[in-house]
Amino acid sequence: MNIGTLVCRLFRGNLRIGTITGKELDEKGWAYFAVRWHDDGVHVSATDWTTKLRNDGIDRYNRTYRTDELTVVSIKHLEQSVSAHHLLKDHRIEQQIPAC
């Protein structure tokens, strides 16, 4: 992973997608990355809510992520998946599923 790589992270059921903006190595050789998350309002709201509920003054916003906390995203794969989703969605009849 390098600066400019598109990455994702699944955290508490929220898929976060972002671009690596910085990289550092610690004394043990682990790589840590700064990430600019895209369309991240759901995560920000959830983090703010958790902070408000716990009221303990702890900063819950990670600033850097260890290499094993991130997954590289293939832009081509992502584009094809979204395109396939829209094609399927546009060509099917919406079905209502009755609630139990």
> Is residue 75 scored above 80 in pLDDT?
yes
Measured between alpha carbons, how far is 97 from 100 in angstroms, rounded to an integer? 9
Q: What is the pTM of this model?
A: 0.73
Q: With respect to residue 24, please indicate whether it lies within any of the assigned structural domains.
A: yes
Mean pLDDT, rounded, for 82-89: 84
Q: With respect to residue 99, please indicate whether it lies within any of the assigned structural domains.
A: no
Q: With respect to residue 47, please indicate whether it lies within any of the assigned structural domains.
A: yes
> Is residue 65 scored above 80 in pLDDT?
yes
Q: Which domain holds residue 64?
A: 6-90
Q: With respect to residue 43, please indicate whether it lies within any of the assigned structural domains.
A: yes
Mean pLDDT, rounded, for 45-72: 79
Q: With respect to residue 98, please indicate whether it lies within any of the assigned structural domains.
A: no
pLDDT tens digits, 24-56: 999 999 999 999 999 888 777 777 777 778 777
> Is residue 99 scored above 70 in pLDDT?
no
Would you state the pLDDT for residue 24? 95
